[in-house]
């Protein structure tokens, strides 16, 4: 069955280029009315211009779609509130939010200024929070909402020289884990995408003939599923180069040492603690508690 967004209204942040632009174009192609948000600044977040967002709007309109532009920063709460207000005045609803805006200020942790750490957290993490908070009451009122936040391999697994970026991207996973619970009763579903594509943020990482395999548009199919009517909630999809996989937090079964546990016990049994053949994904804190109860039910190694 074809995934369509006829009658739906979507906001895509950081949509002036790269992966965000691909999402905006694909949403419009599938019938959505789209707000194209982009500050139009440099990769480190400095400067700004509405030209990039307006160019994507022009592409959508040239193809017969409906779109408006917004050149504000996702870190500016008043600006985000105004974007949402304009969207409601224009179309009367907001069904989809794709939090994609981001910046980079890479340095090793020893050389990184705290200001650069804060700036990256503000855009990726707080920008997503501010935008989500702005649309949340609208989605609750209409009993429908689909939200995507954007993590990365750095947030999930780490990458040298990106402690600020990794912290921000990992924080989004934690944000999703709780928001999925709070949004469930109002039919608000929130998921996470971990994209890998050739954009200005990954320039230099993929070169030569392989570069053609990593077009930003190859991430969007996974995102279209995550914001569709039949979307799941609370999952991470990793997508790029035509591949899609699921990532998840898992935990090993563990060892019950008993009340006499010592640090030496942990060291002596670390291989058993670290046995990932027993690992399984956990959907929430309740499942983690249930897993712990299973481990506690086993006979302790010590009294």
* Straight-line distance from the first to the last Cα atom of the chain, in angstroms, rounded to the nearest whole number: 59
Query: What are the counts of helices (DSSP H) followed by strands (DSSP E) for the chain?
Result: 11, 10
If one counts every other C-beta atom within 10 angstroms of the C-beta of residue 241, the result is: 15
If one counts every other C-beta atom within 10 angstroms of the C-beta of residue 5, the result is: 23
Contact 18, 40 (CB under 8 A): no
Q: Establish whether 173 is a catalytic residue.
A: no
Of 157, 165, 214, 225, the catalytic one is: 165
Pairing of strands 96-99, 145-150: parallel
Query: How does DSSP classify residue 118?
Result: H
Contact 86, 70 (CB under 8 A): yes
* Residues in a beta bridge with 34: 10, 67
Residue corresponding to tokens 């750095």? 154
The size of the chain, in residues, is 303
Catalytically annotated residues: 165
């Amino acid at each position: 069955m074809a995934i369509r967004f006829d009658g739906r209204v979507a906001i895509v942040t950081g949509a002036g280029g790269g992966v965000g632009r691909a999402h905006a174009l694909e949403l419009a192609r599938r019938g959505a009315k789209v707000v194209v948000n982009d500050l139009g600044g440099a990769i480190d977040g400095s400067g700004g211009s509405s030209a990039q967002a307006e160019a994507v709007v022009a592409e959508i309109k040239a193809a017969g779609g409906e779109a408006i532009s917004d050149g504000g920063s996702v870190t500016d709460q008043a600006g985000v509130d105004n974007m949402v207000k304009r969207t409601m005045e224009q179309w009367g609803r907001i069904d989809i939010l794709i939090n994609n805006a981001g910046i980079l200020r890479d340095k090793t942790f020893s050389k990184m200024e705290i200001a650069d750490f804060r700036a990256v957290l503000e855009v990726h993490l707080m920008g997503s929070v501010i935008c989500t908070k702005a649309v949340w009451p609208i989605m609750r009122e209409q009993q429908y909402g689909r939200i995507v936040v954007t993590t990365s391999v750095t947030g999930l697994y780490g990458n040298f020289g990106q402690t600020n970026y990794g912290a921000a991207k990992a924080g989004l996973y934690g944000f999703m884990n709780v928001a999925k619970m709070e949004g469930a009763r109002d039919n608000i579903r929130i998921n996470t995408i971990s994209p890998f594509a050739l954009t200005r943020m990954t320039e230099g990482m993929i070169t030569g003939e392989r570069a053609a395999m990593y077009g930003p548009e190859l991430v969007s199919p996974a995102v279209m599923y995550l914001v569709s009517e039949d979307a799941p909630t609370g999952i991470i999809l990793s997508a790029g180069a035509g591949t899609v996989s699921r990532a998840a937090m898992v935990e090993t079964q563990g060892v019950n040492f008993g009340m006499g546990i010592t640090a030496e016990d942990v060291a002596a049994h670390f291989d058993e603690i670290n046995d990932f053949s027993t690992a399984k994904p956990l959907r929430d804190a309740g499942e983690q508690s249930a897993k712990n109860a299973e481990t506690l039910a086993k006979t302790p190694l010590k009294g």
